[in-house]
Structure 1
Amino acid sequence: MSSRSRLMTLIVAGAAVVVAAALALTLTLNRPKDAPRPDPVAATVPVELKAEGLPKNFSIGVVLTLGQSGEPGSEFNRAAQGAIVAAQRFAQGGAAVALSAQNDGGTEDGARAAVRALAEQGASGVVVATTGPQARAAAKTAEELGLPVILPYAQPSDPVQTTWTTVPSGVSAEAALQTALNGKNRVLLVVDGGEIPPSVGIAQTLSLDGFEQVTDLAQEAAIQTGDQLRPPAEGAPAGAESTRVAEPADAVVVSAATPQRLARLVQALQSRDVSVPVVIPVGATAPAFASTLSELDGAASGQLVSVAPAGGDAAALQQDAQGRGMSAFLSAVRLASGDPEVKNLTDDAPFSADAWAADSGSHDAVVALVRAAALAGSGDPSKVGVALRTMSFGPGEGLAGPGLDFSRSGALTAETVPVYASSQDLGLRPPDEDAPRLVWVPAPAPATP
């Protein structure tokens, strides 16, 4: 079978899967039907992407934090494989995009060295696919070297004209958190080294530092939510009964230093049958949270709530431009996964091993840099940065996620909303028995009168 025939077969098969998944998710979420809206984007978005004017030998650098033991910053290594999908889509359209990855070692010095190495290799721009201090150090070094830099998973410190982030602003994330907790008056915070949401009214805090084991913390949390009885105190009279707290918490906010530790807290709460909503402001949408929760036999249930821009795999089921953009991206994921010659960013494993986690954030960062270089007609980093500052993108330009406006450092245009965990297999990615089943779905839009 020719490459073109194989591509068409996969696209047709993918379209059938999307239709079946759309019906299943619609029934599950009881989503009301939306009225048709005018849409300037074509009825289909092609898998292949073209970039006329892109200079030859164009390359983009990617900074990663490698590690398998929960190192801070490594939680997005698999998500960052979306960059591979973008490069493959441009290759199908006749535009060669080389990707070069550097490991920052999880340190600020390592991040600076990684960016310098990419500059020496001739990168026209950098995608910093990590978080924390090393992400900020990498961005700062790129600024100093005149390299345009996009951070799909972190906020830079004091960004200049050549630095952008595509994560939600703090204000937007806080507003979504407030929406998720609307009507909750007795919020319990469970924390393991994570940040405390500044604007949330916390009635009580339980920190893992105050308990010998995470199971002990979870038991106390279950008592505070009224899901477990408090046993009689030591030395209580014989026959004393267990008691229930008078004013139980009506929601639990969970915060941890890493997604892996976050998953451990969530699974412990689930094991104690905590029944109130468990709200996770930061870290739950990282692939490392999903994989760790699965390894611990935790459940991806609608009880789990996070905040994120409306998007993700579930967006492919929408009958609008963003839905078509995400559908095209997921078709490209399936296509790349089916080709054993397509490797991951570090070129040491097939892309298919990470296909379940490759996300739109890294993909769209590469799309933006390629579009800017094509507009500039040059791979000169300074020209690419100047061009990108004048541009905005949506599904029509090949984005899979929400729209981006690079006239401002915070390029994301979509608002953050509460999203709910589901274990439903949408059937939109290549089958993988080892992949965790966790998809974040926005709440259905309210029905119009």
Structure 2
Amino acid sequence: MSPRTRLMTLLVAAAAVVVAAVVALTVMLNRPAEAIRPDPVAATVPVALDADGLPEDLSIGVVLTYGQSGEPGSEYNRAAQGAVVAAERFAQGGAVVTLSAQNDRGTEDGARAAVEALAEQGMAGIVVASSGPQAEAAARAAGELGLAAILPYAQPSEPAPSLWTMMPSGTSVEVALRTAVNGATSVLLVNDGGTAPTSVPIAQTLDLQNFDDVAGLAQEAAVLTGDQQRAPGAPVGTDAGAAGSTDAVIVSAATPQRLARLVQALQARDVSVPLILPDGATAPAFASALSELDGTASGQLVGIAPSAGDSAALQQDAQGRGMSAFLSAVRLTAGDADVKNLTGDAPFSADAWAADPASHDAVVGLVRAAGLAGSGDPSEVAEALRSVSLGPGEGLAGPALDFSRPEALTAKATPVYASPQDLGLRPADGNAPRLVWVPAPAPTPSP
């Protein structure tokens, strides 16, 4: 081959390489962006849950405040039915998990007695499905006994090696609250026995105890937001703000039922600014009370909570598939007329609309620890739980939990928005309130 021919051959080959590289680069730059591939959790989050190493006759206690009429602490009774769903999922996988409920009677003494009774019955661990002083008393009693206790809805007042909370941290809640009021220049606090936020500047406070009734409080709030006129001749307090000056309202109350009453009264006076609800709004009792009062579930209502509601099942990620499996289990459990609620006095189906992932995941955590320990001994379960980190792959429905620390929840609180949309993910129930919490504002319907 002549030098000229050899040179031409090399040039053609080089050109071919360049063309091929350009074509490859063009294809790579212009191909549609590849969707994030889901991790392989779907195959490991079936409705039925296996429990390797689980001892026979494992029993888990649940401390409740009985009642459905607004007793403090009872607001989570229906949410706590998620524990039943967890037990049924393990039963489908061949493991028997027995749940035993005890009434704390709404008192600290009753809470201590409930925990002691469960300990005497040989519980491997307990779920404290209450709130307030009695939940703290139950936690202290469990800590003194070395009994593993998980609190889905409360913070223990005193730390102990065998106590865990699934509540978001106080810092996380305050950050989310600041995010929710972002841009507001004059924040009004409407209060009925609740706590005042510490991280958000409050321009003015309206306390129900200073009004004749909730309607009077709501009227004054509506004047301050500019949604109502002050009545001619009506007295104006020396600390009253200027009419129309308020651009956000934080609503706080001692119980979800009282919170719903405040919200409905504000809505009845056409208050149009965001109503931010830092505590109690995501409890089923709030949704139920608001519905009974003919209040409205809309994006105007802003709660503060981890993004762990039913809408998480729509996410294309591991948590979405974990939540989807949980909701499938809720539907299956509700379809079995023989499955009763925690107290055994009504079918599970009556509370299927409210059964939440937090109580479910608390039971899953205790079962996984018992399986790891290979024992139902409370001290061994508590020791094993301290080394456990769980996610959807282990059967959780909500965010990941890390029990190596007292605050097991790994997710942070965020603003969540109310929506009346029926996602169709739970059993149809004409008596259930229609309120779901979503991590982004619900779109406003077109007129």
**Mapped contact 2:420–2:436 kept (Cα < 8 A):** yes
For 1:374, the equivalent position in structure 2 comes to 371
What are the residue-to-residue correspondences of 1:154-169 with 2, within 5 Å?
154-169=154-169
**Aligned partner letter, 2:71:** E
What are the residue-to-residue correspondences of 1:245-264 with 2, within 5 Å?
245=242, 247-264=244-261
CA apart distance, 1:34: 9.9
CA apart distance, 1:44: 6.5
Determine whether 1:350 maps to 2:347: yes
Alpha-carbon distance in structure 2 between the residues aligned to 1:44 and 1:52: 14
CA apart distance, 1:231: 2.3
Larger Rg: 2
For 1:207, the equivalent position in structure 2 comes to 207
For 2:29, the equivalent position in structure 1 comes to none
For 2:15, the equivalent position in structure 1 comes to none
- The secondary structure found in structure 1 opposite 2:260 is helix
Alpha-carbon distance in structure 1 between the residues aligned to 2:81 and 2:318: 23
CA apart distance, 1:38: 5.3
**Mapped contact 1:226–1:245 kept (Cα < 8 A):** no
What are the residue-to-residue correspondences of 1:192-271 with 2, within 5 Å?
192-233=192-233, 245=242, 247-271=244-268
- The secondary structure found in structure 1 opposite 2:353 is coil
Determine whether 1:409 maps to 2:411: no
For 2:3, the equivalent position in structure 1 comes to none
CA apart distance, 1:185: 1.0
Determine whether 1:140 maps to 2:132: no
**Mapped contact 2:38–2:317 kept (Cα < 8 A):** no
Alpha-carbon distance in structure 2 between the residues aligned to 1:66 and 1:300: 27
CA apart distance, 1:234: 5.5
Alpha-carbon distance in structure 1 between the residues aligned to 2:67 and 2:418: 26
- The secondary structure found in structure 1 opposite 2:366 is helix
CA apart distance, 1:153: 0.2
CA apart distance, 1:248: 1.7
For 1:188, the equivalent position in structure 2 comes to 188
Question: Which runs of no fewer than 5 residues in structure 2 stay unpaired?
Answer: 1-32, 236-240, 442-447
Alpha-carbon distance in structure 2 between the residues aligned to 1:376 and 1:190: 49
CA apart distance, 1:68: 2.3
Please give the per-residue CA displacement for 1:396-440, whole angstroms capped at 9, x wherever unaligned.
000000000000000000111100000000000000000000000
- The secondary structure found in structure 1 opposite 2:422 is coil
Equivalent in 315, 325, 329 of residue 328 of structure 1: 325
What are the residue-to-residue correspondences of 1:47-446 with 2, within 5 Å?
47-233=47-233, 245=242, 247-443=244-440
Please give the per-residue CA displacement for 1:342-367, whole angstroms capped at 9, x wherever unaligned.
00000110000000000000000000
For 2:4, the equivalent position in structure 1 comes to none
Mark the CA change 1:176 to 1:347 in structure 2 (over 3 Å): closer, same or farther: same
Tell me the C-alpha RMSD between the 2 structures: 1.7
- The secondary structure found in structure 2 opposite 1:202 is coil
Please give the per-residue CA displacement for 1:165-209, whole angstroms capped at 9, x wherever unaligned.
001010001100000011111001000011001111000100101
**Aligned partner letter, 2:391:** G
**Mapped contact 1:44–1:324 kept (Cα < 8 A):** no
**Aligned partner letter, 2:312:** A
Alpha-carbon distance in structure 1 between the residues aligned to 2:388 and 2:68: 37
- The secondary structure found in structure 2 opposite 1:150 is strand
Q: TM-score, normalised by structure 2?
A: 0.89
Alpha-carbon distance in structure 1 between the residues aligned to 2:413 and 2:184: 19
Alpha-carbon distance in structure 1 between the residues aligned to 2:371 and 2:438: 34
Task: Report sequence identity in percent.
Answer: 74
**Mapped contact 1:192–1:261 kept (Cα < 8 A):** yes
Report how many residues are paired. 406
Alpha-carbon distance in structure 1 between the residues aligned to 2:269 and 2:259: 16
Alpha-carbon distance in structure 2 between the residues aligned to 1:114 and 1:332: 29
Alpha-carbon distance in structure 1 between the residues aligned to 2:234 and 2:338: 65
- The secondary structure found in structure 2 opposite 1:307 is strand
**Aligned partner letter, 1:114:** A
**Mapped contact 2:81–2:341 kept (Cα < 8 A):** yes
Alpha-carbon distance in structure 2 between the residues aligned to 1:430 and 1:305: 26
**Mapped contact 2:88–2:333 kept (Cα < 8 A):** yes
